[in-house]
Structure formats: structure tokens, C-alpha cells
Chain A
Amino acid sequence: MSAFNAIGENVERDRNEYTPGLEPQPTWCPGCGDFGVLKALKGAAAELGLSPEEMLLVTGIGCSGKLNSYFDSYGFHTIHGRSLPIARAAKLANPGLTVVAAGGDGDGYGIGGNHFMHSARENHDMTYIVFNNEIFGLTKGQTSPTSPMGHKSKTQPHGSAKQPLRPLSMSLNAGASYVARTAAVNPNQAKDIIVEAIEHDGFSHVDFLTQCPTWNKDAKQYVPYIDVNDSEDYEIDVSDRKSASDLMYETENALNEGTVLTGRYYHDEDRPSYQQEKQNIGEMPEEPLAERYFDEDYEWERSYDMFLDKHK
């Protein structure tokens, strides 16, 4: 018997099952793109038939970090930038869980940049959704790592002198095995991409364009979107790094110029997840660690029997 009965329960589900009853109502501003992520995630979870109790949704800090307050599953609202290390350890400790991490562009690409790079490199089996609104929302409109050059804010009154960060290229180069960009104004594509990302066995990075009508009037919902998966102009081989890299280059320039390409850019289905690699070298148990503590028959090893001989 498993100690975690909710895991693997997959039945047909309704997206409303992920709505936490009466309270709390989202505190996001009217028109905020974050609603789009919430909707897409609910749709994806329902489509995958995930039980709310086998999902762990880990977030950072920011307007984006409130996602798991409005999505009903197990949740861990952590600290600014630190969702990834917490999420990936939870997955290692209990690989049965469906682990999704989420946060903002400041959260994920700024303060959490180091963790972002290394989580992608290690290819943990999890999904990382970054709400990219090119601004710090919760702290009231400061320039973020993805804000365009010249972007003016209260803390950078003369406009940013920095090139915006290129998140897709970053995660691709760091080693993520699934890289996509979608947008709140593209709800169907967004849901499909999240489904695919969760199903993918490895680190899935979804750069999710969200608008922040309160602080970032240049929000991307006003520009035309092209879905590279559907468009004949962008016939790409998604398993090919080089072609993904070329397209990203184009996309990330385009993003700053006003045309937006969304869709799935890279999907390497062959690369084993970190967990698998770790199992291959003998540093990861086959059975979930977490189950052991609930198994009354489990025999706990003792250092006296195992290691003390070498000290005698």
C-alpha cells in the first residue's frame, strides 16, 4: 500500500476542481496576465487528470508567486527566487509527485538566476513556468531583467542601460530539455504547452508572457503573436538544438522589436532526466524516499553495522 493514496489516481477531471472553494479571491489587478496562467494551468491539470493532491505547486515571491494561493493542490509559496531548489528536492524525495514551479521574471531570472541555470543544467523532471511581464509587479513597477533597454522606471529614471536577458536561449544553453514560450492572450496554446511541459520527462521551461497593465503599459498583449508550431514560415525540427537556438535568436530580438513568436522551440525526448542519471550511477534509490518513512516494515540501517568496522 502506498502512503500517498492520491498519487497516480488519474481520473477525468474538471478544471474547477483546482479552484479553492470560496476563498481566497485573487488579489491580482483587473486585466492582469496572471489570470491567464492560472486558467491555463487549471486546464492543463484537468486535461492530464492530475489529482490536486499529487501535485505540488511551488512558487517564489511576487504577484506571480501567489499562483498557488488560487490553485488548489499542495502548495509551497517559498521565498524570492528560491522556488526551484525547493521544488527539485521535493521531486527527488518523492518522484511520484507532479512538481510545477512558478514565479516572475524578477524572481526567476533575477534573484533566482543561479538556480534557474543549474536546474536547467541538471534537467530535473519538473516544469518551470515564468510569468514574464518584463517588470517587477508586486514591488510596484521597477525595471526587471527582461525589461527592454531604455525602459524607464522609478528606480531607473533615465531608462535602463542594460540589454534584456534572453531567457529561452539561457535555459536552452544551460541544458533544459523542453523550452517553450507562450502568452496569456493565447489561452489554448498556453494550455497545450503546459500539458506538454508537464508530460515531458525532464526540465521544462515555459516562458509565459503576461501583461501587467498596472505598471507596464507596453505589455505584450498589444502586439501580434505568431505561433511557430502552426505557422508554415517556421518549419523547425524541435529536437534540434541548433535550429531551436536560431529561432530563439530571432524570437528574442523580435520580442524586443514588437512581433512575438510563441510556441514550442525545443523538445529533447531522448535526454534522461536528472533522476534517471542519478539512478544510473547508483546515487538515487528506485523507491521514493518519502515512502520509506511510512512503511512499517522498512528496515533502517544502522551506522554501527555498516560503517563502524573501518574505525576499529
Chain B
Amino acid sequence: MKVLVTVKEVAEVDDEFTIDGLDVDESYLEYDLNEWDDYAIEEAVQLSEANDDVEVVTVTVGPERADETIRMALAKGADRALRVWDDAIAGAEFLDPGTKAQLLEAVVEEEDPDLVLTGVQSGDDAFGATGVALAERVGYEWAAVVNDLEHDVEANDSSVRRELEGGVEELTDVEGPAVLTIQTGINEPRYASLRGIRQAQRKPLDVQTLDDLGLEESVLETSVDLTSMYEPESESDAVIWEGSADETAGELASFLRDSGVVEG
């Protein structure tokens, strides 16, 4: 059985930053593996450890810089990795979920996985749509926001829990092949061991271009365009207590006493 895990390198913004055009200025961005994808990788690796002959392949759409993130996934136990990128993709203004789903569709067609795991959302643009959009494109069944998974490798069926709002979970049976979008907390993602990191250097990491995937540049055309980015006007009317830690703590303490919520 083959499990394909989509992974993304996401950008995190420093506390102070400036915006340059349509993105935060590069010098204020730090890159890391998307939190939700970390759980998806762990779920796949656990499946491969619990069953014979489960291959875990990761795929990312991203520039060369993302190799570091992918190596992390390989170090945690993925068998091999694909990275989709070329100049045309680099030049595309905006990769909306529809576009990403088309790129990933080509990978699914090539790899023919039995199960695809994605994160619920990516921490940066938070569309939360790529996994289900991909499922729809490739004709797989799916489940979104999965926080518990039991997978029957023989039948390729899954019993999942979907985490709804307000502490309610839905129990759902899903026929494979399926795409499941994985929620944080489903497992405990492992740290990459030193041995894992060494092994990861020797695992295959293929870069595929649009051409390799049999796609035309026109897949990058989208009717959704990012048109502006700005710092939201602060709605804050918070009273900011200033000073040293003992002064600010003193202010908060007085407030709590004065408002009568705390005695003493």
C-alpha cells in the first residue's frame, strides 16, 4: 500500500515586520514545516510501522528552499519525496487551492496512492481547501478535519473521527482510496532522530516540473488573484500596562483586586 502525504513549508512572521507589495518582506519570514502536515506525516509513518509493505511518499509544491522541510519528513520516516517546481510555477502570482489541487492531481495520477493524507490547513494562508479539492479532482472519497484514524489496510477503508465544533466528534466510515485531512492532536509527532536525519540524506528527493507531470503552463492560470496585503487597522482599545515586570504585574494585581474578582 502506498500513502501519499502532502507537505508544505509555511512562512511564519516575526513579531515586528513590514509588508513589501503582496507579501511580508522576506527578511521577517521564517520557514517551517506546516504544523498540520507534521501530524499527517506521523500518521502515515505509524501506518507503515504497524503494517508490512506500506510506502510513505511525500509531495510538496515549493522552491528549492523547501528541501530542508522535506528532509525533515524523510528523517521522520517517509520513504521518498517529490517536489514540484519550475520557473513557471515560481513565476505564478498566486497558487490558490484550485491550482494546487491541479498540480497535486498530476502527482496522484502518477503515483496512484491508496491513501492521501494532507493537513487540515496550512498555517500561513489558511485556505483549508486543498485536500478536499484534490479528492474531488481525482475522484477519491475524503474526510476533512480527522482527529482519529483507523485504517484497514486490506480493504483500504478508514474509520475516522471528524472533530466538529464544540467538543463533538463525528464517526464516519470512508471507502478508499481516500484523501483525509489531518487535524493536530491526532498523534504525537516524533522528533527526527540523528540517525533519521543521516538516513534522510540518502533517500530520494525528486524534483518534477510541469513538463514532467504532463501539465501545461495554463494550469497556473487562475481567476483568483491576490490584490493587496496590509496590516489590519488595530481594533485594539486595550489599556497597555507599561513598565518593568513587577510594575505591570502590580497593575494587573490591583485591577484584579479592585474589580473584586480576586480577594487578598
Q: Do A and B come from one complex?
A: no
